[in-house]
């Protein structure tokens, strides 16, 4: 059992949950005019742009949970050492790049960059 990978997996799952829930509350609630998928945003955004923004927003969560599941599996069962190290390194690089992107895009004002860098650190701490 690898505690650092399990913590990274748990952290990534929580980041995904917070991302979707807070996005719905703070962003998409204001853009929702009917139904589940928001369609408001005019005159700045067209309906199809708001729809793909919403879909992409939640796609990030789904992919984060998938990466979390991979890390959890790596942390809880014996695996091929070479493949396991490669998957963990890819996960670490992805979360590091994501953290740096969020930091750059928001001038460091969005807390997700710090959480993503913690996950990357935990992955490489293994």
Cβ atoms of 50 and 40 closer than 8 Å: yes
How far is residue 42's CA from residue 52's CA, in Å, rounded to a whole number? 14
Q: Is 109 exposed, middle or buried (0-12, 13-18, 19+ CB in 10 A)?
A: exposed
Cis amide linkage into residue 108, ω under 30° from 0: no
Percent of the chain with pLDDT over 70: 100
Q: What is the pLDDT of residues 64-117, one digit of tens each?
A: 999 999 999 999 988 888 999 999 999 999 999 999 999 999 999 999 999 999
The string of pLDDT tens digits covering residues 28-42 is 999 998 889 999 988
Say which residue the tokens 């990030």 belong to. Answer: 60
Q: Which residue has the higher pLDDT, 123 or 126?
A: 123
């Amino acid at each position: 059992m690898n505690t650092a990978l399990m913590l990274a997996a748990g952290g990534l799952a929580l980041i995904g949950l917070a991302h979707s829930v807070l996005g719905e509350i703070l962003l998409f609630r204001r853009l929702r005019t009917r139904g589940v998928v928001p369609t408001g945003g005019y005159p700045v955004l067209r309906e199809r742009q708001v729809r793909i923004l919403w879909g992409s927003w939640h796609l990030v969560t789904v992919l984060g949970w998938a990466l979390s599941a991979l890390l959890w599996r790596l942390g809880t069962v014996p695996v091929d050492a070479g493949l396991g190290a490669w998957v963990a390194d890819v996960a670490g690089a992805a979360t590091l790049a994501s953290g740096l992107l969020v930091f750059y895009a928001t001038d460091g004002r969005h807390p997700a960059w710090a959480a993503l860098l913690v996950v990357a650190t935990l992955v490489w701490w293994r």
